[in-house]
Structure 1
Amino acid sequence: MNLTTSQIDAIQELLNIGVGRAANVLNEMLDAYIHLQIPYIKIKLPQELQREMQTSFGRGRVAAVRQDFSGSFSGIAELVFPTDSACMLAAILTGEELGTPDLDAVRISTLSEVGNILINSVIGSIGNLINRNLEYELPYYIEDTVENLIHFHNKVAPTTVLLAQTQFTIERFQIRGDIILIFELSSFNLLMSAIAEEIYAYK
């Protein structure tokens, strides 16, 4: 399956709004400018998804906050950081010094909360813009290799997926991260139908 230009444009516009709102929230937390890349939208097989993420993050461990959502359409949302960026963000938000013994425990709770806020900003904005209700599972924090994260995804959704990914950087603190959405194709079709309905409703 290939995406049409109009489908890519529609999803990118939704993501731009949702990610922009998430960036505003993070900006308020850190009082620092957040630079956003244009969202990347592609249909991927599981092995392609793994290669794509390894290109972004390498083969080492990454830190991720994952949250599943369901309702009119369903999928997986993740906030993914290189581990050094995750440590830096947690240290800034908590006032802890990097390398302190308690930072690991603090990092998990802090980044889980940050992930919850940012993911809800993105997915909530999308749901509101297309007038669809969504339900969220509790977020949870993971540190693992990209390969193992993808294997976990495959247990949940072992099919071709839609990958929507945007990278953000906070140059002042040398922090980078990605907001990643993964939809099963059946949910993607429901998402596109919902977008089309809202577009026609305004014509």
Structure 2
Amino acid sequence: MNVTAEQLDALQELINIGVGRAASLLNEMVNSHIRLEIPFVKVLTAADAYEELAVRFHDDSLAAVRLGFTGPFYGTAGLIFPTDSASSLVAVLTGENPDSTDLDAVKIGTLSEIGNIVINGVMGSIGNVLRQHMSYTIPVYLEDKIENLLASANVSESKILLAQARFTIEQLELIGDIILIFELDTFDTLIQIINQEMGVS
């Protein structure tokens, strides 16, 4: 199914609602003011998503928080950062020295929490606005290259919703990506529900 400009706008609106909620929650948790914006949203095949992310992140190891979702549409949701950006984000939020040997343990816990808040914000807004019940697995933190992060899903049959996430915290600007992998034909189901519930076509 090809996505119209109006449907893409509706997807961006749903994700923006979710990251707005996530940013509010994150700001309550930490002393730093966090601004979280989504400059663009794209719907891609697995091959195109891999190509775009590979160009942006080169061959770097990435830090990711990932969870599965099920409901009328199902798949995997993830928040991905270059590992350097992830360390910088954690250092700012926790006050830990970026070179500290304790940072790795702190990083896993902190990023898991951030990922959980952002992904649940996004998936929660999709479920709430579209009036669909969604279930989630426990978030998992991992560091790997992009092909391995994408390979875990049945990506050849998947549609990937890629939303760039820009975190701005106290002069520090970090780019991450929110990736929603909809398995098999369930992305078409999402679009049909958007058409019904949001009156777009």
Q: Shorter-chain TM-score: which interval?
A: 0.7 to 0.9
Match of 2:114 in 1: 114
Match of 1:169 in 2: 167
Gaps of 5+ in 1: none
- The alignment of Structure 1 onto Structure 2 pairs a total of residues equal to 197
Distance in structure 2 (CA, Å) of the matches to 1:76 and 1:99 = 32
> Which amino acid letter does the alignment assign opposite residue 193 of structure 1?
Q
Distance in structure 2 (CA, Å) of the matches to 1:68 and 1:133 = 14
**How far is 1:129 from its partner?**
0.6
Distance in structure 2 (CA, Å) of the matches to 1:90 and 1:25 = 16
Q: Kindly, what percent of the aligned residue pairs are identical?
A: 44
Q: 1:195 to 1:36 in 2, by over 3 A?
A: same
User: Which runs of structure 1 show a deviation greater than 6 angstroms over 4 or more consecutive aligned residues?
Assistant: none
Normalized against structure 2, the TM-score is what? 0.88
- Mapping for residues 28-107 of structure 1, pairs under 5 Å: 28=28, 29-44=30-45, 46-107=46-107
How big is the alpha-carbon RMSD for the aligned residues of Structure 1 and Structure 2?
Answer: 2.0
Gaps of 5+ in 2: none
Secondary structure, aligned partner of 1:43: strand
Match of 1:187 in 2: 186
Normalized against structure 1, the TM-score is what? 0.87
Deviations 1:175-203 (A, max 9, x none): 33222212135111211222222235xxx
Q: 1:106 to 1:31 in 2, by over 3 A?
A: closer
2:66–2:140 contact (8 Å) kept in structure 1 = yes
Pick which of 84-93 and 170-179 moved more: 170-179
**How far is 1:84 from its partner?**
1.2
Distance in structure 1 (CA, Å) of the matches to 2:184 and 2:3 = 11
Deviations 1:64-110 (A, max 9, x none): 10111111211211111111111122223333211111111111111
Distance in structure 2 (CA, Å) of the matches to 1:35 and 1:115 = 13
Pick which of 176-185 and 133-142 moved more: 176-185
Q: 1:91 to 1:33 in 2, by over 3 A?
A: closer
> Which amino acid letter does the alignment assign opposite residue 195 of structure 2?
A
1:16–1:38 contact (8 Å) kept in structure 2 = no
Distance in structure 1 (CA, Å) of the matches to 2:65 and 2:31 = 19
